[in-house]
Amino acid sequence: MSTFKTEAHTVKPFVRANSGFTLVELLVGLFLSLFIGGMALTYMVSSSRTFRIQTGDSISQENARFALEIISQNLRLAGINPSNSFANKLDVVYNGDNCPANESSISNGDSQGCTVDELANNSDRIAVDFIADSSFTGCNFAAVTVPLGIEKRYANVFWTADLDNDGVRSLYCQTYNITDSQIEGPAAPLIDGVDRLQAQYGVDNDQDDVIDRYQSYTNLTPAFSSRVKSIRFALLVGSGVDLDAGANTEDNIERKYQLLDGPEISITDRVKREIYSTTVMLPNGM
């Protein structure tokens, strides 16, 4: 009897000799890489722009807050007369022949009185009129000496300018000695980024302690200058710096602004600005 033996054969899987990616796989991978990279780049650019905008807004708000507070504090001094020794009641804002010569000529090129509407830069100038009977620090940080037992008349003059020619307008102030017709220290830049200042004056026509109207200083006749009970002022404020200067990704944009009853102004650059305003009641004019 014959015996047959069957040998078992093992079938091995097919192995590709040279493994790698197909052209389709490479194209799909390249497309996904470009897509993810583009999304990441877009996010980074958007985040950077958002950060610059938020930083600019934050700086502008801080500049505006300090500027509003500084001017408001000084306006509350308007018309103050500790002993009432002066024969005539003070006007709350000063406009006379004696005005700081360098402040007028350097900042604005005019020779008008201290309080002026619509200077060459479409911005107002306010001179707060008050009496001092003791030494004090002027709004420009100058030490002002008032001899014991003497009273003198002063004006803190506020305006906007770019006196240092750095391309950034600032809020300036200078204390002027009206009594002696002399400047008390140089003009000082208080806050950068304050482009324009505009003011209106609240007048109590019939002296019933109720403000009847707000008007510009140009329309404030001498008869009513002593009846000013409040001052409404507005500031055009920006960050004071071009936060995109390094990146240079933003275009110059023309923006138009109008402060109170002032003329419309147009500014073309990459600095965002906002208008801030407030009204200050004048306790010494009541």
What's the pLDDT score for residue 45?
Answer: 63
Residues of the chain with pLDDT under 70: 1-20, 43-54, 84-89, 97-113, 120, 223, 242-250, 285-286
What pLDDT score does 104 carry? 43
Q: Which residue has the tokens 């804002």?
A: 93
Give the 3-state secondary structure of residue 75.
Answer: helix
pLDDT the model gives residue 110: 41
Taking residue 86's Cβ as centre, other Cβ atoms within 10 Å add up to: 11
Residue 210 has a pLDDT of 86
Give me the pLDDT at residue 27, please. 77
Give dist(CA 127, CA 174) in Å, integer. Answer: 9
Give 269's strand partners. 253
Cβ neighbors of 110 (< 8 A, separation 6 or more) are: 104, 116, 119, 120
User: What CA–CA distances, in Å, run from 19 to 13, 15, 16, 22?
Assistant: 15, 9, 6, 10
Structure tokens at 46: 């958007």
Planar angle of CA 105, 110, 113, nearest 5 degrees = 105
Distance CA(75)–CA(79), nearest Å, equals 9
Pairwise CA distance, residues 72 & 56, whole Å: 24
Neighbours of 218 (CB within 10 A): 10
Per-residue pLDDT, 231: 93
